[in-house]
Structure 1
């Protein structure tokens, strides 16, 4: 029983709730790594120099206190101070942090790289089987995170992989419900992206629970149970067995046309008292209840390979790839950047990281803003020609993404105590708008049957962008002033993506056609002229 046909609003709300609770949990890494350091994961990687480097003055004061005081209570106090100093320095151990970040980098890259395979499985076996497999993967991941200990630290890698890949699958199998709401499609896609980013706050809740005495294991086991219950309900009852594709969309459009056509016929028959000849009446019924096969989308729809290798699709993939590199490098190097801005003042760096976490909580609002802009543009060009009404509406949202992305890079080039706040705000808009616009354009410009596969390719390419950040990190460390050169390099790449916007604008302006809607006849062919360009 597939309830999405009868209760589209309920299904959409449920899918959005899943995204909020589980989809992007892996991106709350900053809160999780704090807990892992507290528990001593990979503490044995720290060397003696790491231990005493940054708190030398504290230890000297402690040694002085030992020399001055010989009482037992004073010595206990001194030993306590040494322990606290050791605890602080353990948090600043580069080898420990590097090892933990390695697992995170592998997990986030794998999350995007494997979605091409996930999209194939969804196309081949359907939504239900695909979700059943990867819900199990997610549960294995949460249990690995629950039972990982400093003695079994390797469980972190399968745990992060399971949560990342499973969460991405949950999000991408849910996003198809946006097809149930044609007029708000872009807004709903943007909302999914915003909730995906916002779900990282769940790790912050786990951290708060940990600081209040609730063990990490208990939190992850509770999370596993809630996840199993909620996703099982939607997988078995709410979402389609296969997927929402062109067939369902055509049925929905046809039913709307027939409803309008029947209403028009009743009005016409009431006004015209003369009886139609039987032959004309039969012809009217046939025209109102069938689709012209000569323009059926199935007969002339471009193949998947032709769609992927079209100029529009290739440029869209490149546009997403470049801006994804900017996003990954900003997140990965935010500590290095802030240390450079504040001259290694750890207190200020910590305060700015907290500010960054709170600012990014506005992701839902920024995603909705992006979706509203896109949907407004679509309504503005709704009566235009087939190419123009798809290409021109996306130019403004893509232009905003370009502005957010380049603005973030520019502020990274300015060394000032205030610029990080502007960079954080722009990055929050940028992070949600990037994927919201990228996915919404795939939905609007290409066949719904190819959406899952195209999104898989897009995420695979962004996963490559996540891997490319590693040589950029090495460039950061190569010499003094390298941070400036890396950001200039990224700025050049970002500027090169303008050609995608320009070509979309030119192609859209060249289309001078208009759409004249006749509810009793099949509308103009869809998407074929778009894909051919």
Structure 2
């Protein structure tokens, strides 16, 4: 994305997804290798599609967290399609469903690539409904300065609202300048403290997420031995909750947007900083990205609640565990994407987000070690201890903001 552009990546991604979905449609007993090829194409294509779609939120900068959460929630709730297909399989063949899915996805993807997405990812903000908020990251610096001067001039002639608008634009210009000065290359992003913090948080969060899914049936079997009715019931409820990601998205999105708006107001209220002083630049930067800390902290609590509740051999406890799991999943992916878009220059988003997801995915492979070396309860105790580390990044962000 960072090299070839947003639109080009979208076209490649939808092509891969289209070919992979068609491969699934025509798999039979004699074409088993095609299954692995199709799986790789669909996995890479769908993930790349989601990353491209995240840039649509740049058109709504004041509600970026809400938009990212909705997109992630829709991605999670796509399992609902598989459920509907499985329920109507006798009336509608699986092959036809894959063919229809392939052609619908290619049509929608082409429309988005041609008419919605821009060639470069940092150009998406040009279409923001509130341009004064959009200049935070990705606008031409001369245009920002001109817009700021115009707003200041209008403020001298008109109302207090224009004064607030001018100050908002000036703050956006300063934040963008600070971020651009801090991260002049992708190396600067990777070796920075914010990237280390979000990597630790994402690794541990994804580890908790993947082990919950991988160990769920094992731990239920251990806690409810010989109770087939309860085991089947809890697994069905778990599947139902997994389709509710889209319902949790507005809540997690509002958490991110409200906290970021609060931190932005704190920056605007502080008239004592100077862009030339390194201390104040750091203070502005960490106050700005601290807006994501409440989301990180809330997900840490969700992970701990899950870890504790699944020890309780009670149906109601598991209902709450499934509820917290839906919130965890929504925050895990929306907050990590929002952090990459907020803390680093937008033209490095593809690389930073890709490295973050790769590290998290590799670390989560450790879950397979527990399947063969310990019981599910013992594994969950170890994972619960590891989940305590989720509280470290938001605490450090608070310390950096307060310095």
Q: TM-score, normalised by structure 2?
A: 0.82
Which of residues 257, 272, 278 is equivalent to 2:148? 257
Which of residues 389, 412, 435 is equivalent to 2:333? 435
Name structure 1 gaps, 5 residues minimum. Answer: 1-121, 269-287, 477-481, 511-533
Which of residues 230, 233, 239 is equivalent to 1:357? 239
Name structure 2 gaps, 5 residues minimum. Answer: 124-136, 160-169, 268-282
Which of residues 189, 195, 208 is equivalent to 1:326? 208
Could you say which residue in structure 2 is the equivalent of 1:89? none
8 A Cα contact 2:234 2:315, kept in partner? no
Alignment of 1:331-350 (within 5 A): 331-350=213-232
Whole-Å Cα distance in 1 between the matches of residues 188 and 79 of structure 2?
Answer: 37
Q: Say yes or no: does 1:372 pair with 2:254.
A: yes
Whole-Å Cα distance in 2 between the matches of residues 475 and 207 of structure 1?
Answer: 35
8 A Cα contact 1:387 1:507, kept in partner? no
Cα 1:379/1:260, change in 2 over 3 Å: same
Displacement of 1:355 in angstroms is 1.2
Alpha-carbon displacement from aligned partner over 1:131-187 (angstroms, at most 9, x marks no partner) = 222222111211121112244333322222222111111100110122222211122
Cα 1:249/1:435, change in 2 over 3 Å: farther
Alignment of 1:277-316 (within 5 A): 301-316=183-198
Alpha-carbon displacement from aligned partner over 1:389-426 (angstroms, at most 9, x marks no partner) = 32432222111100111111112222233322121111
Could you say which residue in structure 2 is the equivalent of 1:409? 307
SS in 1 for 2:122: coil
Displacement of 1:299 in angstroms is 6.2
Displacement of 1:300 in angstroms is 6.4
Larger radius of gyration: 1
Cα 1:422/1:300, change in 2 over 3 Å: closer
Q: How many residues align?
A: 360
SS in 2 for 1:321: helix
SS in 2 for 1:497: helix
Whole-Å Cα distance in 1 between the matches of residues 244 and 391 of structure 2?
Answer: 27
Whole-Å Cα distance in 1 between the matches of residues 31 and 361 of structure 2?
Answer: 28
SS in 2 for 1:390: helix
Q: Say yes or no: does 1:395 pair with 2:293.
A: yes
Alignment of 1:6-45 (within 5 A): none
Alpha-carbon displacement from aligned partner over 1:440-492 (angstroms, at most 9, x marks no partner) = 1222222222222111111111221342222222224xxxxx22221111111
Q: Say yes or no: does 1:231 pair with 2:109.
A: yes
- Taking only aligned residues, the RMSD between alpha carbons, in angstroms, comes to 2.5
Whole-Å Cα distance in 2 between the matches of residues 429 and 329 of structure 1?
Answer: 16
Whole-Å Cα distance in 2 between the matches of residues 433 and 351 of structure 1?
Answer: 26
Alignment of 1:131-170 (within 5 A): 131-170=10-49
8 A Cα contact 1:177 1:244, kept in partner? no
Cα 1:494/1:324, change in 2 over 3 Å: same
Whole-Å Cα distance in 2 between the matches of residues 349 and 398 of structure 1?
Answer: 32
8 A Cα contact 1:328 1:465, kept in partner? no
8 A Cα contact 2:182 2:188, kept in partner? no
8 A Cα contact 1:341 1:417, kept in partner? no
Which of residues 466, 483, 493 is equivalent to 2:376? 483
Alpha-carbon displacement from aligned partner over 1:194-224 (angstroms, at most 9, x marks no partner) = 11111221111221221x3211101101111
Which of residues 106, 110, 121 is equivalent to 1:243? 121
Cα 1:307/1:238, change in 2 over 3 Å: same
Deviates more, 1:383-392 or 1:224-233: 383-392
Could you say which residue in structure 2 is the equivalent of 1:197? 76
Cα 1:297/1:408, change in 2 over 3 Å: closer
Could you say which residue in structure 1 is the equivalent of 2:398? 505
Cα 1:157/1:239, change in 2 over 3 Å: same
SS in 2 for 1:387: helix
Whole-Å Cα distance in 1 between the matches of residues 138 and 319 of structure 2?
Answer: 47
